[in-house]
Amino acid sequence: MLKQNLSKVALLVSTALVLSACEPTTQHVEQNATATKPALVAAYPASLQTLTAGHTLYVPLPWGASTWRVQADRNQLQWLDAQGQVQLSVAGRFSRVTAQPLDATRGVVAALEAESNSLYLWLLDTAENRIALTLQQVVNSRVVEDLCFYHSSENQQLSLFILGGRGGADQLLLQQQQQWLANPVVIRELNVPYDSKACAVDDASGSLFIAEADRAIWLYQAEPEAEEGRELLQVGQPFGAINAEIIALKALSANQLVALQEEPAALLLLDDGKISQYPLAANSTANNLAATLGEQQVDFYVSNEEGAALQQLTLALALPAVTPKAAMAQVLPTLQTVAASARGDVIDDPAVWHHPTSAAQSLILATDKRAGLEVYNMQGERVQQLNVGRLNNVDVRYGLAWQGEPHDIAVASLRNNNSLQLFAINGQGDVLPAGQVATSMQEIYGLCMYQDATTQAHYVFVNDKSGLFEQYRISAANGQWQGQKVRSFNVPSQPEGCVADDSSGVLFVGEEDEGIWRFAAAADASSDGELIIKVDGETLVDDVEGLALGYHAGKPLLIASSQGNDSYVIYDALPPYALRLQFRVSTHYQLGIDGASETDGLDLTTRSLGPGFEQGAFIVQDGRNRMPEQGQNLKLVPWQQLLEKLN
Ligand code: CA
Ligand code: CA
Ligand code: CA
Ligand code: CA
Ligand code: CA
């Protein structure tokens, strides 16, 4: 929505002329004669007044019944209560102040002292008339140009973007699930344009706006696990509306952004693709922008570095009502595997192998889409790397003799030659290549295994991007393994993830854009499937990726990667397939482990994997491995954490 609306770079600039103190007068002039189809410029009635001089910063805090404010001159920053009494003074040359309400009466304020490049954070409780300094630290990572908060109601995180002018920004996590961090941590470093001067965030849409000098305004995603891409929202003249350096930004809604131009001082309103400009002639230059949002109007306060005129511009502008997103359940990873050596979309699908006697010596296998199979121990260290080719999905079953000895079996889909790559796993956990089985696939893709509870026979289900599934029986002959195709069936479009329940003989299949199917797993069963859970764009958002099963209280649960909204969904694996839990894997800042997002494959075991995972583990591929930015890896969440949310 935002992308469609704000990203139009209009070739049209309007100019509001003659704004006098008490007479709201606005006129707009089309300046660009080359625009053959001029867009209509919607202007809002505006009034401009000049308030007292002397403020380099002026930020009203309209929280609760009373409006406090923070103001600064060239020597100090002051907190004033609703009666205008100074409650706190802090010496220094403060260049930025930004504020974030937290609830009806409380909020947090961040400020930058420019001489020492120090960040200050205060909590204000207007009901208790209390200000508390919670952080004061020198920022060593970069010379700070601007600060902007991001409060995600859905992910229950409060963070602060620290924007540097030399191409970088830090996202500092301050609060998670209502808990303040004793030591805030940088959870993401962003690459931003070299001359970035200003930032702003719209909380509801998770939009991070960054202004690049007089050249451009960019849109990034504020979520720490979001993709890193950016979009161009507006550019400098002659192609766009920006005609001076942008020194401050304020987001009014997902589709309404205000930019303060430094010299000549003017506000640009980017409004749903339309652009208005409001000159602020009383200031030769402008530097700081604050706003209070009313139901029918927005008041902007503009000051400059010299503390010349403080101007208040009021726009009769009704903002859209926004309902914050409901909080989503969060679980925290307690272990991550070593990063893939290559960047990009490399790791795809994990599978657990349980050691027969020692849970802590169990292994996690994962496919590397470039190279082969990775094997990790329960410390997350790589213990084996089998460079057999471009593997996509992998699964494990137990108890199939190989070369005359008992072995367990892993099978992976091999894209080099559309075959099944077999691996034998001995009792010590050594993983050995054990041959290939040709398939009739054109574009082999997803895969899962099944052991028939009645016959004990081992099977592989493998799919093709066309929607074709084939079922192979794997059996031992003369010490080697061989595969025999026993059945084929189809889903209408591209599938990938699948999982079979050995005890009930049910196969679940993800059709990436459509939903989850149920088939009977037995080799001689009907090939008619049933679409049991549909992609709905809210709970289950395409692509449907990895699927896994686990038993809880004697009943099977189905867990799916809802890749399109970076979350996971647990359903009853029995009709009517009720939704049990929707959740995310969030940042474990104490352990320095980032959250998981864009997950492809996943696995779940409810058996012990040793200390910390006594109840088992939920294992996901993380498409964006951060803290620091590295190749992809897997995140492990103790199953216990999810049991607590399910009960
Ligand atoms: Ca991927
Ligand atoms: Ca896929
Ligand atoms: Ca991540
Ligand atoms: Ca995949
Ligand atoms: Ca990491």
**Centre of ligand 1 from the C-alpha of residue 67, in Å:** 48
**Cβ distance 347 to 365 under 8 Å?**
no
Residues with CB under 5 A from ligand 3 (ion): 594, 622, 624
Residues with CB under 5 A from ligand 5 (ion): 594, 625, 627
Counting ligands in written order, which one lies closest to the CA of residue 597? 3
- Please report, in angstroms and rounded to a whole number, the separation of the first and last CA atoms in the chain: 37
Residue 579 has pLDDT above 70, yes or no: yes
**Centre of ligand 2 from the C-alpha of residue 646, in Å:** 27
**Centre of ligand 3 from the C-alpha of residue 595, in Å:** 4
**Centre of ligand 4 from the C-alpha of residue 494, in Å:** 11
Residue 15's pLDDT band (boundaries 50, 70, 90)?
very low
**Centre of ligand 3 from the C-alpha of residue 587, in Å:** 8
**Centre of ligand 3 from the C-alpha of residue 619, in Å:** 13
Counting ligands in written order, which one lies closest to the CA of residue 393? 4
**Centre of ligand 4 from the C-alpha of residue 425, in Å:** 23
pLDDT computed for residue 64 by the predictor: 81
**Cβ distance 456 to 434 under 8 Å?**
no
Residue 26 has pLDDT above 80, yes or no: no
Q: Which of 252, 353, 369, 366 is nearest to 610 (CA)?
A: 353
- Determine if the peptide bond prior to 543 is cis (ω within 30°): yes
**Tokens in use for 59?**
């930020």
User: H or E stretch including 529?
Assistant: none
Q: Which residues contact 554 (CB under 8 A, 6 or more apart)?
A: none
**Centre of ligand 2 from the C-alpha of residue 573, in Å:** 22
Go through the chain and tell me how many residues it has.
Answer: 647
**Centre of ligand 1 from the C-alpha of residue 128, in Å:** 49
pLDDT computed for residue 485 by the predictor: 98
Strands of the sheet containing 530-534, edge to edge, are: 495-501, 506-511, 515-520, 530-534
Q: Which amino acid is at 244?
A: A
> Measured on CA atoms in the order 574, 326, 218, 45, is the torsion positive or negative?
positive
**Centre of ligand 4 from the C-alpha of residue 595, in Å:** 19
For 210-223, how does the pLDDT look when each residue is reduced to its tens digit (9 = 90+)?
A: 999 999 999 999 99
Counting ligands in written order, which one lies closest to the CA of residue 465? 2
pLDDT computed for residue 42 by the predictor: 47
Strands of the sheet containing 179-191, edge to edge, are: 144-152, 157-164, 168-176, 179-191
**Cβ distance 29 to 276 under 8 Å?**
no
Average pLDDT, stretch 585-591? 96
- Determine if the peptide bond prior to 628 is cis (ω within 30°): yes
Counting ligands in written order, which one lies closest to the CA of residue 447? 4
Average pLDDT, stretch 470-479? 96
Q: Please, which contacts does 60-64 make with residues 24 or more away whose CB atoms are closer than 8 Å? A: 60/290, 60/292, 60/299, 60/301, 61/99, 61/107, 61/109, 61/124, 61/126, 62/292, 63/101, 63/104, 63/105, 63/106, 63/107, 63/124, 63/126, 64/104, 64/105, 64/106, 64/126, 64/127
pLDDT computed for residue 142 by the predictor: 95
**Tokens in use for 591?**
């352990």
Residue 13's pLDDT band (boundaries 50, 70, 90)?
very low
**Centre of ligand 5 from the C-alpha of residue 630, in Å:** 7
Dist. CA 167–CA 164, nearest whole Å: 7
**Centre of ligand 5 from the C-alpha of residue 368, in Å:** 17
Instruction: Say what percent of the chain tops pLDDT 70.
Output: 93
Average pLDDT of the chain is 92
**Centre of ligand 2 from the C-alpha of residue 432, in Å:** 27
pLDDT computed for residue 282 by the predictor: 67
Residue 53's pLDDT band (boundaries 50, 70, 90)?
confident
pLDDT computed for residue 16 by the predictor: 33
**Centre of ligand 5 from the C-alpha of residue 395, in Å:** 24
Average pLDDT, stretch 230-250? 94
**Centre of ligand 2 from the C-alpha of residue 211, in Å:** 35
User: H or E stretch including 647?
Assistant: none
**Centre of ligand 1 from the C-alpha of residue 512, in Å:** 13
For residue 463, with 0-12 CB atoms within 10 Å meaning exposed, 13-18 middle and 19 or more buried, which class applies?
buried
**Centre of ligand 5 from the C-alpha of residue 181, in Å:** 19
Q: Which of 147, 238, 141 is nearest to 189 (CA)?
A: 141
For 496-511, how does the pLDDT look when each residue is reduced to its tens digit (9 = 90+)?
A: 999 999 999 999 999 9
pTM for the full model? Answer: 0.91
**Centre of ligand 5 from the C-alpha of residue 223, in Å:** 15
Residue 29 has pLDDT above 50, yes or no: no
Counting ligands in written order, which one lies closest to the CA of residue 593? 5
**Centre of ligand 1 from the C-alpha of residue 294, in Å:** 43
**CA 398 from centroid of its chain's CA atoms:** 37
Residue 30 has pLDDT above 70, yes or no: no
Across 19-23, 323-327, 636-640, the highest mean pLDDT is recorded for: 636-640
**Cα separations in angstroms, 136 against 117, 133, 184:** 11, 8, 11
| Count of alpha carbons within 13 angstroms of residue 377, beta-carbon side | 12
- Higher pLDDT among residues 63 and 488, named by residue: 488
Residue 283's pLDDT band (boundaries 50, 70, 90)?
low
Residue 32's pLDDT band (boundaries 50, 70, 90)?
very low
**Centre of ligand 3 from the C-alpha of residue 594, in Å:** 5
Average pLDDT, stretch 153-165? 96
Residue 1 has pLDDT above 60, yes or no: no
